[in-house]
């Protein structure tokens, strides 16, 4: 029998075992990537959809009057409104109160249009879905204020106008604000249309201010979890740990079994070699009778010689 092929046959399953269990963690790591970058695109698509639905609220609209829009049923919970304004009127008179927004005089749009529409959004319970903000907790729903050209009230996918307050800032008086946990400081957050997040201090209780359009809310920093488990740890992660433990145990047992086998194998080889040497000696020297000692055959001489015995008769 060939030792090399025997050892290989024994090693192969063991190696396969090792490969499998070392690859498990990598497999899991790849399948739990987050897709945070997609949220910005989803939010922009929502803006386009809400512009369309807000414009549908206009039926012979009066200038300077807000109209509530209806959202599609798959977005129940979002409130929208639209108000048409003359650009000159916006600049010289502002809008005293448009839902939560107080728009001062001196607000200009870029590029210039004669009439514009201010679309209001309250994302309600959809805020987190479209504007997830790791490590922060929302104390108020996301409110949006976006400006569009009013020349075609059936237009879709309109680009936003760039709205800018040249004098006083636009103020946002949030109405349903949860109180911040004791010891934490609430902050204003603004998401601009390019995906940037800008934090600032509140300007009054429940009030934020801005000189640009965008999406706004009040947040507080989340209290980090007390124990080591990092955020987003869940079923998958503990699952993964179980796999690693099971893998280690099985791998360890396989390794032990393999080592045990190697030791046995080594002993057997040694024994066989000894036997061969003794047989060779028998061929060369005087004829020896073969007798049985235990399970194995051993050369034996005539009665005048001492009977040979194997050193270790209790070989397992
Ligand atoms: C990835 O995005 C999809 C939809 O855009 C969302 O349903 C899913 O929860 C997101 N996955 C993660 C891990 O954020
Ligand atoms: C909601 O429904 C509208 C039309 O019914 C569709 O255009 C839009 O893609 C849907 N939005 C989501 C987020 O499912
Ligand atoms: C928000 O609430 C409405 C019911 O008021 C529900 O139909 C909708 O699925 C909720 N949205 C989310 C993102 O949970
Ligand atoms: C959230 O907080 C953790 C720990 O404080 C930090 O490692 C991680 O980068 C933060 N995430 C973001 C998006 O800032
Ligand atoms: C903000 O709104 C609340 C009611 O929602 C009102 O009582 C309060 O006076 C408003 N604050 C300002 C500065 O307009
Ligand atoms: C916000 O307020 C804190 C004190 O409450 C102050 O230390 C900090 O400088 C302010 N930040 C800004 C940007 O005004």
CB of 28 within 8 A of CB of 243? yes
pTM of the model: 0.65
CB of 172 within 8 A of CB of 101? yes
Q: What is the predicted pLDDT for the residue at 73?
A: 97
Token output for 175: 């109405």
Q: Is 34 in the pocket of ligand 1 (CB under 6 A)?
A: yes
Token output for 172: 């946002």
Q: What is the predicted pLDDT for the residue at 233?
A: 53
Q: What is the predicted pLDDT for the residue at 282?
A: 64
Separation between Cα atoms, residue 81 and residue 50, nearest integer Å: 9
CATH class of this structure's domain 53-221: mainly beta
One digit per residue, pLDDT tens: the chain, 316 residues? 454 555 545 554 554 444 444 444 433 333 223 344 455 899 999 999 999 999 999 999 999 999 999 999 999 999 999 999 999 999 999 999 999 999 999 999 999 999 999 999 999 999 999 999 999 999 999 999 999 999 999 999 999 999 999 999 999 999 989 999 998 999 999 999 988 999 999 999 999 999 999 999 999 998 766 655 555 555 566 677 777 767 777 777 788 787 787 788 888 878 888 778 777 766 665 554 555 555 655 555 555 555 555 565 555 5
What's the gap in Å between 233 CA and the centre of ligand 4?
A: 14
Q: What is the predicted pLDDT for the residue at 222?
A: 87
Domain spans of the chain, in order of start: 53-221
Q: Is 35 in the pocket of ligand 1 (CB under 6 A)?
A: yes
> Quick one: CA dihedral 165, 169, 54, 139, positive or negative?
positive
Pocket probe for ligand 3: among 75, 76, 142, the residue whose CB has the most ligand atoms within 8 Å is 76
- Could you say which ligand is closest to the alpha carbon of residue 207? 5
Q: Is 72 in the pocket of ligand 2 (CB under 6 A)?
A: yes
């Amino acid at each position: 029998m060939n030792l090399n092929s025997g050892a290989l046959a024994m090693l192969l399953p063991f190696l396969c075992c090792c490969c499998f269990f070392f690859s498990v963690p990598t497999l899991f790591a790849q399948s739990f990537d987050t897709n945070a970058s997609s949220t910005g695109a989803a939010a922009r698509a929502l803006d386009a959809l809400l512009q369309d639905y807000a414009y549908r609220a206009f039926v012979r609209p009066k200038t300077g009057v807000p109209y509530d829009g209806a959202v599609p049923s798959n977005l129940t919970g979002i409130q929208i409104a639209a108000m048409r304004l003359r650009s000159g009127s916006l600049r010289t008179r502002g809008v005293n109160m448009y839902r939560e927004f107080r728009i001062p005089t001196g607000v200009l749009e870029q590029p210039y249009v004669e009439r514009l529409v201010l679309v209001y959004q309250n994302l309600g319970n959809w805020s987190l879905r479209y504007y997830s903000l790791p490590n922060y907790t929302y104390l108020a729903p996301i409110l949006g204020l976006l400006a569009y050209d009013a020349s075609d009230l059936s237009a879709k996918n309109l680009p936003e106008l760039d709205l800018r307050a040249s004098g006083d800032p636009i103020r946002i008086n949030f109405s349903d604000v949860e109180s911040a946990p004791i010891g934490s400081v609430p902050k204003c957050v603004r998401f601009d249309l390019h995906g940037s997040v800008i934090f600032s201090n509140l300007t009054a209780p429940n009030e934020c201010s801005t000189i640009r359009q965008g999406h706004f809310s009040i947040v507080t920093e989340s209290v980090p979890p007390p124990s080591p488990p990092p955020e987003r740890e869940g079923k998958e992660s503990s699952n993964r740990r179980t796999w690693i433990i099971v893998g280690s145990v099985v791998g360890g047992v396989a390794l032990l079994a393999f080592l045990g086998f190697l030791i046995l194998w080594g002993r057997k080889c040694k024994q066989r070699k000894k036997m061969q040497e003794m047989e060779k000696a028998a061929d060369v020297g005087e004829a020896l009778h073969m007798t049985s000692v235990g399970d194995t055959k051993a050369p034996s001489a005539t009665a005048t010689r001492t009977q040979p015995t194997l050193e270790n008769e209790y070989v397992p």
